[in-house]
Amino acid sequence: MKHNMGKTDKTIRVIIAITFATLYFTNVVTGNLGIFFLAMAAILLITVSINFCPMYTPWGINTNKKKISH
């Protein structure tokens, strides 16, 4: 799996995930929307941990600026 996420992209995803989780655990957002926020937070953190976003692949998006020498 080719890495397609850069540092800025990962930082933004972590901030959003923390925000969603905080909203859920402080009961600001409850019910189905709260569960959705928690699931989205988990998905964002998983994509950050593996440095790969499957949604970027169909459009050829790559925010990873590192050059790989062959």
pLDDT, tens digit (0-9, with 9 covering 90-100), for 10-44 = 999 999 999 999 999 999 999 999 999 999 999 99
Helical axes 7-25 vs 31-50, angle rounded to 10°: 150
Q: Global pTM?
A: 0.85
Alpha helices in 1-70 (DSSP H): 7-25, 31-50
> What are the extents of the domains in the chain?
7-53
Q: How far is CA 33 from the centre of its chain?
A: 18
Q: 23: which DSSP letter?
A: H
Tell whether the torsion through CA atoms of 40, 44, 45 and 50 is positive or negative: positive
Percent of the chain scored above 70 by pLDDT? 94
